[in-house]
Structure 1
Amino acid sequence: MLQIGSTISFQKNNYKLVRLLGEGGQGIVYEVTDDNKNHLALKLLFPYAVSQETKVALSEEVTQRNSPDNRFLWPANYVEHVDQFGYVMPLREARFSSWEKLVQGRVKPVPQLDTLIFACRSVCEAFFNLHIQGLVYKDLNLGGPALDTKTGEVVICDCDNVRIDNDPNGERLYFPEFAAPEVILEETTCTRYSDYHSLAVLLFYTLVRHHPYQGALWEDINLVNDTSERAFYATKPKFIFGSDHKNTLPKDTNPARNWDRLPVFMRKLFYKTFVDGAHNPKERTTDGTWVKALIKFQDNIVRCSHCKTLFCAENTDICDTCGNKLRRHCEISFDERKVLLTEGMVFQVDKHFLGNKGLGLVVNHPRKRNEIGLKNISKSSWKAYLPDKTVKNIAPTASIILMTGMTISIEGNHYKILTIN
Structure 2
Amino acid sequence: MVNGMLAPGQTLVTEEGEKVKVADMFGSGGQGEVYRVRTRKGDRALKWYYPQIADNRQRQILEGLIACSWSDDRFLWPQTVVVDADGRLPGFGYLMDVRPDRFRDLPALFRRDPAIAATTQRTLVTAALHTVEAYRALHGKGIAYRDINWGNIFFDPHTGDVLVCDNDNAVFEGESAGVAGTMDFMAPELVRGDRGAQPGIQSDLHSLAVLLFLLLMNHHPLEGALALQIRCLDENARKKLYGTDPVFLYDPNDTRNRPVPEEQQTVVATWGALPPILQRLFVETFTDGLKNPLRRVRESQWRDALSEVLDTICVCACGRQNLTEPNGPAPHCWGQNCGRPLTLPPRLQLTIGSGRTRTEPRSVRLGPQARLYAHHMVVEAERHDFTAVVAEVTEHPQQPGRFGITNRSGTRWTARRSDGSVHDVDPGRTIGLSTGLQLEFGGGAEAVVRD
TM-score, L = length of structure 1 = 0.90
Does residue 77 of the first structure (1) align with residue 80 of the second (2)? yes
- Of 365, 369, 385, which aligns to 1:341? 365
* AA at the equivalent of 1:103: F
Question: What does 1:17-416 correspond to in 2, within 5 Å?
Answer: 17-36=22-41, 38-49=42-53, 51-59=55-63, 61-67=64-70, 69-81=72-84, 82-106=89-113, 107-167=115-175, 169-187=176-194, 188-243=197-252, 244-245=254-255, 247-250=257-260, 251-304=263-316, 306-314=317-325, 316-317=329-330, 318-321=332-335, 322-327=338-343, 329-334=345-350, 335=352, 336=359, 338-349=362-373, 354-357=386-389, 359-363=391-395, 373-376=403-406, 378=408, 382-394=413-425, 399-410=430-441, 414-416=445-447
Deviation at 1:313, TM superposition (A): 2.5
Over residues 76-130 of structure 1, what are the superposed CA-to-partner deviations in whole Å (9 max), with x where a residue is unaligned?
1012332222211111101100112123322424321122111111111111111
Unaligned stretches of 5+ residues in structure 2: 353-358, 377-383
Deviation at 1:31, TM superposition (A): 1.1
* AA at the equivalent of 2:32: G
CA distance in 2, matches of 1:50, 1:276: 39
Does residue 417 of the first structure (1) align with residue 448 of the second (2)? yes
SS in 2 for 1:329: coil
CA distance in 2, matches of 1:281, 1:68: 30
Over residues 371-411 of structure 1, what are the superposed CA-to-partner deviations in whole Å (9 max), with x where a residue is unaligned?
x5314263766431123431123466764333333222347
Deviation at 1:327, TM superposition (A): 3.4
CA distance in 1, matches of 2:23, 2:55: 28
Over residues 168-197 of structure 1, what are the superposed CA-to-partner deviations in whole Å (9 max), with x where a residue is unaligned?
x44352100100111122221111110000
Over residues 288-327 of structure 1, what are the superposed CA-to-partner deviations in whole Å (9 max), with x where a residue is unaligned?
21111111111121222x1222112215423222233333
Over residues 346-392 of structure 1, what are the superposed CA-to-partner deviations in whole Å (9 max), with x where a residue is unaligned?
322258983123622254898897xx531426376643112343112
SS in 1 for 2:286: helix
Decide whether aligned partners of structure 1 residues 340 and 309 sit closer, same or farther in structure 2, where only a CA change above 3 A counts.
farther
Q: Percent identity?
A: 28
Equivalenced residues, count: 414
CA distance in 2, matches of 1:200, 1:102: 17
Deviation at 1:44, TM superposition (A): 0.6
Contact 2:366/2:393, CA 8 A, preserved across alignment? no
Unaligned stretches of 5+ residues in structure 1: none
Over residues 257-311 of structure 1, what are the superposed CA-to-partner deviations in whole Å (9 max), with x where a residue is unaligned?
101111112111111111111121000001121111111111121222x122211
Contact 1:361/1:377, CA 8 A, preserved across alignment? no
Contact 1:331/1:419, CA 8 A, preserved across alignment? yes
Deviation at 1:49, TM superposition (A): 4.1
Decide whether aligned partners of structure 1 residues 9 and 400 sit closer, same or farther in structure 2, where only a CA change above 3 A counts.
closer
Decide whether aligned partners of structure 1 residues 197 and 35 sit closer, same or farther in structure 2, where only a CA change above 3 A counts.
same
Contact 2:349/2:450, CA 8 A, preserved across alignment? no
TM-score, L = length of structure 2 = 0.84
* AA at the equivalent of 2:345: H
Contact 1:302/1:342, CA 8 A, preserved across alignment? no
Contact 1:343/1:363, CA 8 A, preserved across alignment? no
Give the match for residue 3 of structure 1. 7
Worse-matched range after superposition: 233-242 or 382-391: 382-391
CA distance in 1, matches of 2:57, 2:313: 46
Contact 1:29/1:44, CA 8 A, preserved across alignment? yes
Contact 2:32/2:49, CA 8 A, preserved across alignment? yes
Decide whether aligned partners of structure 1 residues 145 and 261 sit closer, same or farther in structure 2, where only a CA change above 3 A counts.
same
CA distance in 2, matches of 1:364, 1:343: 14
